[in-house]
A and B are shown apart, each in its own frame.
Chain A
Amino acid sequence: MESLETRFERLVRASARLVRAAIVRAAGTRRDRVADDVEQQVYLALWRRFSSPQGPPAELAPAYLYRAAVRETVRALARLRESQSEDCAALAEPAAGDADPERLASARETGARVAAALARLQPERRRAVAAHLQGFEIGEIMKLFDWDYQRARNLVARGMADLRRELGSTADE
């Protein structure tokens, strides 16, 4: 029979693989830049948490493992971002990540203008539109906000119309 430690190791290894898959998917077209050793780093980090001298904390491990996986996901994305650039925009794709300072500055300026326009929208429409512009699909938006399909789709459509009006009026000012 497998020891608790062996089972833990297998579970942690599988989780590290899933963390890597999540990171690869989130990185989009930048996935080629995802370091090959992300999975290994995550595995080691998770395993260190559970391989205390007293042995794995059996009762608390499930919740810990899930939280640790989330933490390592966020941490690995931050490492990835830092390895590409000091800039938060480095993962944005594709134009903003291309290291043309003028384009990046222009994208940032437009981003601030879009964010300001979003801030003037009704909260649900603002969230729906922001998620849509960040590349979330309708199914993901539904999950994120607990909306049904029609509601999510309507909020995106109406919010986009509002945003066009807002940006149009800003441009006219």
Chain B
Amino acid sequence: MNEEAWSLALRAHSPEPHPDEAAWERFAAGELAAAERDALLDHALQCGACAQALRAVQELATTLGRELDMHPPAARSERSSARWLPLALAAGLAAVLVGGGWMFVRTRASEPSVTRGDAGLPSLVVLAPRASATTIPRFQWRARPDAQIYRVHVYGEDGVAFGQVATTAAPAVAGTAVARAWPPGRYAWRVEALRDGIVVASSPLVDFELRR
């Protein structure tokens, strides 16, 4: 039996009892004691459905954080987002309320184009497009010697992922399909470098504008 079979089997596993909604809320808010957090994670990682809830909650924290421009201080960039995010989210949401909903019209042009990538991974340097308007984007980045392939992702301004645009061995790819399929507007993109199926570097999100 191989790893894939173990993986499928574990996803079908459903030990009870499952964490309730309140436990997930407290987990997401960073309110669980270490032992409770460990217990929730131990369960969630051995239960297919709860693992998906865990993934969704993590994804939500990340996308909400990104949408609110919540970046951890540089000195803590390699630490888990789990501890700062709830407070940062609260502060960011408060800023939204005070500031009159600026998050819906903001641009990400001020986001540094070269920073640490996600989760403290080494950063990939993006070359283009960067905060520029284009009719057919050509996504380009600086090659990494340890990368075997690259994956390009594009996101709408509301943070919704349009999915994986391309997988390529070259450090550039034409976004012809993107330009054909998606309406004019503001988008963001990122690229990941993979080796042996594992992400070894990631770029920050970079804005671009699609025009007709």
A interface, CB within 8 angstroms of B: 1-2, 4, 7-8, 10-11, 14-15, 17-23, 25-28, 58, 61-63, 65-67, 69-71, 73-75, 77-78, 81, 87-96, 104, 107-115, 118, 123, 126-127, 130-131, 133-140, 142-146, 148-149, 153, 160, 163, 167
> Quick check: is B159 within 8 A (CB to CB) of the other chain?
yes
B residues touching A (Cβ–Cβ < 8 Å)? 1, 3, 5-15, 18, 21, 24-25, 28-29, 38, 41-42, 45-49, 51-60, 63-64, 67, 78-83, 86, 89-94, 96-97, 100-101, 103-104, 118-122, 158-161, 198-199, 202
Residue of B nearest to A20 (CB): B160
Question: Which residues on A sit within 8 Å (CB–CB) of B198?
Answer: 137-138, 153
A113 vs B10: C-alpha distance when bound (angstroms): 9
CA distance A65 to B61 in the complex (A): 12
- Chain A residues closer than 8 Å to B38, beta-carbon distance: 123
Q: Do A108 and B12 touch across chains, with their CB atoms under 8 A apart?
A: yes
How many angstroms from the CA of A140 to the CA of B58 in the assembled complex?
Answer: 8
Contact status B10-A115, CB under 8 Å: yes
How far does the Cβ of B203 sit from chain A's closest Cβ, in whole Å?
12
Which chain B residue shows the least CB distance to A69?
B60
The CA of A108 and the CA of B48, in the complex, are separated in Å by: 11
Q: What distance in Å separates the Cβ of A119 from its nearest Cβ neighbour in chain B?
A: 9
Residues of B within 8 A of A92 (CB): 8, 11-12, 48-49
- Report Cα–Cα, A18/B68, bound state, in Å: 12
With A21-B161, A144-B58 known, 17 other A-B pairs at CB within 8 A are A2-B101, A8-B97, A21-B160, A25-B59, A26-B52, A26-B59, A62-B92, A123-B38, A127-B42, A130-B46, A134-B11, A138-B199, A140-B58, A142-B80, A143-B81, A146-B80, A167-B1
Residues of chain B contacted by A63 (CB below 8 angstroms): 29, 86, 90, 93
For A17, list chain B residues within 8 Å (CB).
158-160
In the complex formed, the residue of A with least CB distance to B122 is A149
B13 touches A115 (CB 8 A): yes
Closest to B192 in A: A139
- CA gap between A19 and B119 in the complex, in Å: 21
A96 engages B11 (CB within 8 Å): yes
Secondary structure type dominating chain A contacts: helix
Q: Which residue of B lies closest to A11 (CB)?
A: B96
A-B contacts, 11 of them at CB < 8 A, read: A58-B97, A70-B25, A108-B14, A133-B7, A134-B45, A134-B48, A137-B199, A138-B199, A139-B118, A139-B121, A143-B80
Whole-angstrom CA separation of A104 from B12 in the bound complex: 8
> Contact at A88–B158, with CB atoms within 8 Å?
no
User: Which 3 A/B pairs are nearest by Cβ-Cβ distance?
Assistant: A62-B93, A111-B13, A88-B14
Q: Are B101 and A7 in contact (CB under 8 A)?
A: yes
Interfacial chain B residues near A94, Cβ < 8 Å: 8
Chain A residue at minimal CB-CB distance from B52: A26
Say yes or no: B28 contacts A70, CB within 8 Å: yes
In the complex, A69→B62 CA distance in Å?
A: 13
Which residues of A have CB within 8 Å of B56? 22-23, 25-26, 73-74, 77
